[in-house]
Amino acid sequence: MMNSYHTEQPSALIEFKAVSRVYGTGAAAMAALRGVSLAIGKGEFVAVMGPSGSGKSTSMNILGCLDTPSSGSYLFNGIRVEALSRDQRAILRRQYLGFVFQGFNLLKRTSARENVELPLVYRGVPAGRRKRRALEALEAVGLQGWESHTPGELSGGQQQRVAIARAIVTDPEVLLADEPTGNLDSARSREVMELLTQFNRERGITIIMVTHEPDMARYAGRRINFTDGVIQDGRPEESV
């Protein structure tokens, strides 16, 4: 689909090569990222941490094809993403990435099944196949029997499970999770993290998760810490 565009032989699924992102110009210029280089292999589970304003959200926006670097290069499986057009980046996002958000981002008056079907609607998947795949995804997150319930009829933990089902229904290469446990209590947080770990191990989905919580970061195999637009790359002290 896009392999004819600005490709390099990949050494990792995701690479940042000296990525900088500057907002504004002149005296008002603000560098959110300062020459960040990193590599994430297929099947990794990475926790991204750092205080507000450290650059982690900017990095996630670039990883999710919602923003592009001011300089440097972002490679996805060897494709130079910053060299793609807006439409091509949208195709990459739709075909290869899944998203989970702190606030769930579900349509309030729409059933769990219909919420999960949405990414398949954008892909043009026929209705019967959409329904079948959505039901399979909801079963995979433990919500069999809850398919017809709207978000208002579900607990916060159940809503996040619907959001995870929506993220995995397309069989993405990468799942980008932005504070997925931020609105949940400790028990529900552990349930969500165990689900993400399961999909990482059993399906080989690469997971990149922003979190402020060290206990949640311990589920990841590796931790990337952002400070003032640069990173320190390491592993958690212990893993679950």
> Could you read off the pLDDT of 100-125 as tens digits, one per residue?
998 899 999 999 999 999 999 988 99
Q: Tokens 């790359």 belong to which residue? A: 233
* Domain positions in the chain: 14-234
pLDDT value of residue 239: 39
Average pLDDT, the chain: 91
Q: How many CA atoms lie within 13 A of 130 on its CB side?
A: 17
Q: What percent of the chain has pLDDT over 70?
A: 92
Does the pLDDT at position 4 exceed 60?
no
Which 8-state DSSP code applies to residue 191? Answer: H
Query: pLDDT class for 9, splitting at 50, 70, 90?
Result: low
Q: What is the pLDDT of residues 48-70, one digit of tens each?
A: 999 988 999 999 999 999 999 99
pLDDT value of residue 237: 45
Cβ neighbour number for residue 157 with a 10 Å cutoff: 18
Residue 77: phi, psi to the nearest 5?
Answer: 50, 40
Query: pLDDT class for 216, splitting at 50, 70, 90?
Result: very high
Please answer whether residues 82 and 68 qualify as being in contact, where contact means their C-beta atoms are separated by less than 8 angstroms. yes
pLDDT value of residue 233: 62
CA separation, residue 122 to residues 75, 114, 117 (Å): 24, 13, 9
Pairing of strands 174-178, 97-101: parallel
When mean pLDDT is compared across 8-17, 80-89, 92-101, 102-111, the lowest value belongs to: 8-17
- E-assigned strand segments in 102-221: 174-178, 206-210
Please answer whether residues 111 and 147 qualify as being in contact, where contact means their C-beta atoms are separated by less than 8 angstroms. yes
Q: What percent of the chain has pLDDT over 90?
A: 85
Q: What is the 3-state secondary structure (H, E, C) of 149-176?
A: CCHHHCCHHHHHHHHHHHHHCCCCCEEE
Does the pLDDT at position 2 exceed 60?
no
pLDDT value of residue 1: 44
- Can you tell me the distance from the alpha carbon of 53 to that of 55, in angstroms, rounded to the nearest whole number? 6
Average pLDDT (131-149) is 96
Query: pLDDT class for 28, splitting at 50, 70, 90?
Result: confident
Q: What is the pLDDT of residues 149-193, one digit of tens each?
A: 999 999 999 999 999 999 999 999 999 999 999 999 999 999 999
Q: What is the CATH number of domain 14-234?
A: 3.40.50.300
